């Protein structure tokens, strides 16, 4: 598969149409770090949370099972959103699903206390895309709110699902986030894909000043 540079709905719908959820490279039965950090930092089960690129993620399942009542799932792929709605069915009462592109400047999200993103941010390729992303955080996350971010580290493969990714070090992430955010926690974690490929993630948690 030739590596492309830009995410598109067509690309991701193709990926979701070709593979079962359990075959997707980023799939994990439980996103342990994400779940632990949400439970640590969320102010109660009614704390608003948005999950960026979370269409097929198991995080929403885990949070609904723990009685979280204000969840928003944003994904660029209609196929991913449809799969999540079907999977959760009647359990999805505490979740809102939005098929939209985080790069869309007109995306309007309700205020939340937790912004979660595992494996979406690293697909942003240039300054304008990253600036747009940060503007959405600024307009959506309440003061004192938490960003939980999981991205490919410098030791991860250079592409994922046929797309080139930006790989990050902690200093590089600090360059992006430290002006408006306080770093609370960081860790690296090796994810083994269903195809047995090692992908090292760097997780960071930030508090909005």
The residue with tokens 């990253």 is 130
Judged against a pLDDT cut of 60, whether residue 3 lies above it is answered with no
72 falls within a domain: yes
Mean pLDDT, residues 15-31: 86
The residue assigned the tokens 């993620």 is 57
Assigned domain for 3 exists: no
Answer yes or no: is pLDDT of 5 > 80.
no
Residue 27 has pLDDT above 50, yes or no: yes
Q: In this model, does residue 23 exceed pLDDT 90?
A: no
Range of the domain at 133: 9-208
Query: Does residue 116 have a pLDDT over 60?
Result: yes
**Token pair of 122 as six digits:** 């690293």
Residue 157 is assigned to a structural domain of this protein: yes
Q: pLDDT grade, residue 17 (50/70/90)?
A: confident
- Burial bucket for residue 63 (CB in 10 Å: 0-12, 13-18, 19+): buried
* 106 assigned to some structural domain: yes
Q: Name the least confident of 2-16, 96-110, 126-140.
A: 2-16
Report strand pairing: 163-164 vs 159-160: antiparallel
93, pLDDT greater than 70 = no
Q: Say if residue 1's pLDDT is above 70.
A: no
Using one digit for the tens of pLDDT, what is the confidence trace for 38-84?
999 999 999 999 999 998 888 999 999 999 999 999 999 999 999 88
Alpha helices in the chain (DSSP H): 9-18, 32-41, 59-65, 78-88, 127-140, 170-177
pLDDT tops 60 at residue 2: no
In a domain, 2, yes or no: no
Torsion of CA 53, 115, 30, 102, to 10 degrees: 0
Question: To the nearest whole percent, how much of the chain has pLDDT over 70?
Answer: 95
pLDDT value at residue 134: 97
Overall number of domains in the chain = 1
88 pLDDT higher than 60: yes
Residue 136 covered by a domain: yes
Per-residue confidence (pLDDT) for residue 25, from 0 to 100: 76
For position 174, which CATH number holds?
Answer: 3.40.50.150
Q: Does some domain include residue 22?
A: yes
Give the residue-averaged pLDDT of 143-163: 95
To the nearest 10 degrees (0 to 180), the angle between helices 9-18 and 78-88 is 50
What pLDDT does residue 92 have?
58
Domain assignment present for 89: yes
pLDDT of 124 > 90? The answer is: yes
| Residues 205, 209: Cα–Cα separation, whole Å | 13
Mean pLDDT to the nearest integer, 152-176: 95
* Cα(13)–Cα(31) distance, integer angstroms: 23
């Amino acid at each position: 598969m030739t590596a492309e540079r830009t995410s598109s709905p067509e690309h991701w719908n193709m990926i979701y149409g070709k593979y079962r959820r359990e075959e997707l490279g980023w799939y994990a039965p439980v996103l342990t770090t994400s779940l632990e950090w949400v439970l640590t930092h969320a102010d109660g089960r009614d704390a608003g949370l948005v999950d960026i690129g979370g269409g097929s993620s198991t995080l929403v399942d885990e949070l609904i099972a723990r009685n979280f009542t204000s969840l928003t799932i944003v994904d660029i792929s209609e196929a991913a959103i449809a799969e999540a709605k079907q999977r959760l069915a009647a359990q999805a009462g505490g979740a809102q699903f939005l098929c939209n592109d985080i790069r869309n400047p007109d995306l309007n999200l309700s205020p939340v206390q937790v912004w979660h993103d595992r494996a979406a941010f690293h697909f942003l390729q240039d300054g304008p895309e990253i600036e747009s992303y940060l503007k959405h955080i600024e307009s959506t996350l309440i003061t004192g709110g938490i960003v939980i971010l999981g991205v490919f580290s410098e030791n991860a493969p250079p592409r994922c699902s046929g797309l080139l990714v930006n790989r990050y070090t902690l200093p590089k992430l600090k360059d992006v986030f430290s002006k408006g955010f306080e770093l609370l926690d960081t860790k690296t974690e090796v994810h083994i894909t269903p195809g047995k490929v090692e992908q090292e993630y760097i997780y960071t948690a930030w508090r909005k000043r």
